[in-house]
Amino acid sequence: MYIIIIGGGRVGYYLTKALLSEGYEVVIIEKDASVCKIINDELGGVCIRGDGCEAVTLAEQGTSRADMLIAVTGDDEDNLVACQVAKYRFNVARTIARIRNPQNEIVFRKLGIDITVDSTNVILEHIKGELPTYPLTHLKALRETGLEIVEVRIPPDSKAVGKKIKELSLPEGSKLSLIIHKSQKPHLPSADTTIRDGDRIIAVTAPEQEEALRTVLSGT
């Protein structure tokens, strides 16, 4: 599989390293000559100096035979254009763009980018998961299903504590998939499982039911 990466910053560098060790054919395109040199000294001649948004540069790297183009520069607009040029000029099947402004996820999807990775949101979710005031954390969006996997922590004053799952009025389409008790043992929940203070519940839900699910499980 041939993968082209645009942007030789930290994300591009470590991504290339990981993909090379998986045995993929990888090329990074980076504007800055000194950054290129550092990458080539460390990883071998994988880095090409050039503008990854320019059709000429992409043509030289044989983009029409690439299976995937991943744009991870620090600028959302550059990542958008690199992916669009790859997709509409070179028919690259899969384009992935890093975004920094969470709003751009919807914009990019609408403009034909296959996958976006929102680095700001990833960091935010990790930090929010550590805050006591955020009992619901997004673990993963299940692409193309419209569903997401979330973790809900049960606070001691939740009205769900002491209730059986069948007694809770869970929103339609939300399913509790796993319960981890304070003892750190995972359980597959059944209708008769009792919710306890400090439980961590892994659930699958539609984003629009997220608030209802949070209220049922952690509301006071």
Partner 1 sequence: MKAVIMGCGRVGARLAGLLDADGHSVTILDTDTYSFRRLPPTFKGNALIGNGLDQEVLKRSGIEEADAFVATTQGDNRNIMAAQIAKNIFNVPKVVSRIYDPLRQELYSTMGLETISPTTIFAQILREKLES
Q: Which span (28-36, 102-110, 126-134, 153-161) binds partner 1, by CB under 8 A? A: 102-110
67 binds partner 1 (CB under 8 A): no
Which of 163, 166, 193 is closest to 181 using CA atoms?
193
9 binds partner 1 (CB under 8 A): no
105 binds partner 1 (CB under 8 A): no
CB neighbour list of residue 127: distance below 8 Å, 6 or more residues apart: none
Counting residues that bind partner 1 (by CB under 8 A) gives: 19
Sign of the Cα torsion 207, 209, 215, 218 reads negative
Q: At closest approach, how far in Å is the CB of 29 from partner 1?
A: 14
Q: At closest approach, how far in Å is the CB of 55 from partner 1?
A: 5
Torsion, CA 124, CA 130, CA 132, CA 133, rounded to 10 = 10
Q: Which span (9-17, 70-78, 119-127, 151-159) binds partner 1, by CB under 8 A? A: 70-78
120 binds partner 1 (CB under 8 A): no
Q: At closest approach, how far in Å is the CB of 218 from partner 1?
A: 30
Pairwise CA distance, residues 107 & 103, whole Å? 7
Cβ proximity to partner 1: between 56 and 191 the closer is: 56
Q: What is the CA radius of gyration of the chain?
A: 22
- Could you say which of 110, 133, 172, 192 contacts partner 1 (CB under 8 A)? 110
**Residue 61 per-residue DSSP state:** T
What residues between 28 and 57 interact with partner 1 by CB under 8 A?
53-56
Q: At closest approach, how far in Å is the CB of 75 from partner 1?
A: 7
80 binds partner 1 (CB under 8 A): yes
Pairwise CA distance, residues 150 & 165, whole Å? 17
Which of 90, 71, 63 is closest to 15 using CA atoms?
71
Cβ burial of 2 (10 Å; 0-12, 13-18, 19+) is middle
Phi and psi, residue 94, nearest 5°: -130, 125
Q: Which span (9-17, 21-29, 83-91, 127-135) binds partner 1, by CB under 8 A? A: 83-91
Which position has the token pair 């992935």? 96
SS3 for 114? coil
* Interface mask toward partner 1 for 191-220; x: CB under 8 A: ------------------------------
Residues in touch with partner 1 (CB under 8 A):
53-56, 75-78, 80-81, 84-85, 88-89, 101, 103, 107, 110-111
